[in-house]
Structure 1
Amino acid sequence: MRQLRLEPVPVSDNLRAALTAAGLLVDDLDGSDRDYFVCVDAEGRAIGYSGIEACGDDSVLLRSLVILPAHRSRGHGRHLVELTIEKAPPSADVYLATANTASFFEHIGFASVERDEVPSAILATRQLSGLCPASATIMKLSKPPT
């Protein structure tokens, strides 16, 4: 697999377009507590996008993960998740919400958690307090990716 790396990226039309095309949320992209990244290959071509949202001192919400259509089914999604997790503070618990990709995240080391087990700072994010459907699965990284 080609070497991939993350580069910081501001909220942009390209980011919005990639997320919208994948059916992901774009209503709450702005905020000083959010960092976004473009995943590029060794030639500098965009492969996908990701983001993290700081939720207090001890947890982050993994968000806005998308591999561009031309680069799917090559293992890049897993690599994008791993690179994005590396951007979180080492002691932070990593959470995410998903409507339909729980099995993908389980293979990386995430496990489903009940809402009453989720820190209030995570539940207070716009994603979990109103934008995501109540049926979304909330997951927590239970072991580091291997």
Structure 2
Amino acid sequence: MQLVYKIINDEKSFEEFRTLLKSSSLPADDLNFKKDLLVGYYEGDSLVGTGALEIYSPYALLRSLSVKLGIRGKSVGSTITEYLMNEANKRKLKAIYLLTETAQGFFSKKGFTSINRDEVPSEVKVSSEFSHVCPASAIAMVYNC
């Protein structure tokens, strides 16, 4: 499978991005392509994967990782996650945080570790993901860059 990534920076691509997130039952209404780093992975003209970093310097929040049904199991999620981790390293961020309800094992394999929510820096806790979008049952994880 030949995948091409594209930074999401226009309205049309952003709506496509949000549609894929919603089809994966992930929140999409609080994203901002003008502020956040949103990346889409395409197979031809078809968007098949998404991922995002919200920057809260010197930290980031990884979110919006989704892979289209029918494409899952082909390492697309790994490719997107590794791209975002590399971007965080390039930007000299200290750590990447995330919340997950279903993918703790996946992120553990990428080097993320589970933490208590109270260990998350206040800079990241102000995000909509931490403050009200994700349920209290979601597991907080961190990757130290």
Does the pair score TM above 0.5? yes
Q: 5 Å matches for 1:1-146? A: 2=1, 4-10=3-9, 12-30=14-32, 32-41=34-43, 43=44, 45-55=46-56, 57-88=57-88, 89-142=91-144
1:112 Cα offset (Å):
0.5
CA–CA separation in structure 2 for the residues paired with 1:122 and 1:54 = 8
Residue 112 of structure 1 aligns with an amino acid whose one-letter code is: S
AA at the equivalent of 1:118: V
Unpaired segments of 5 or more residues in structure 1?
none
Structure 1 position 98, deviation (Å): 0.7
Instruction: Supply the distance in 1 between the matched residues of 2:35 and 2:128 (Cα, whole angstroms).
Output: 12
State the aligned residue count: 140
Q: 1:125 to 1:16 in 2, by over 3 A?
A: same
Tell whether the 8 Å contact from 2:17 to 2:47 is kept in structure 1 after alignment: no
Q: Gaps (5+ residues) in structure 2? A: none
- Residue 64 of structure 1 aligns with an amino acid whose one-letter code is S
Cα distance in 2, alignment partners of residues 108 and 93 from structure 1: 13
Give the RMSD, CA atoms, in angstroms: 1.9
Aligned partner letter, 2:21: L
TM-score (norm 1): 0.85
3-state SS in 2 of match to 1:36: strand
Residues 14 and 44 of structure 1: is their aligned pair in 2 closer, same or farther, counting only changes over 3 Å? closer
Q: Which amino acid in the other structure matches residue 50 of structure 2?
A: Y
Report the Cα distance in structure 2 between the residues aligned to 1:93 and 1:128, rounded to whole angstroms: 16
- TM-score w.r.t. length of structure 2: 0.86
Deviation per residue, 1:85-122 (Å, 9 max, x gap): 22222333111111111111111111111112110011
- 1:1-48 deviation digits (Å, cap 9, x = unpaired): x4544311135221111000101001211264312111135x565331
| CA 137–31 in structure 1, closer or farther in 2 if over 3 Å, else same | same
Q: Is the 8 A contact 1:5 1:83 kept in 2?
A: no
Distance 1:81 1:4 in 2: 14
**Distance in 2 (alpha carbons) for counterparts of 1:111 and 1:5:** 29
- Paired residue type of 2:52: G
Q: 1:19 to 1:34 in 2, by over 3 A?
A: same
Supply the distance in 1 between the matched residues of 2:41 and 2:94 (Cα, whole angstroms): 22
CA deviation profile, 1:56-94 (whole Å, cap 9, x unmatched): x21000011111112111121111100122222233311
Q: Which moved more, 1:119-128 or 1:67-76?
A: 67-76
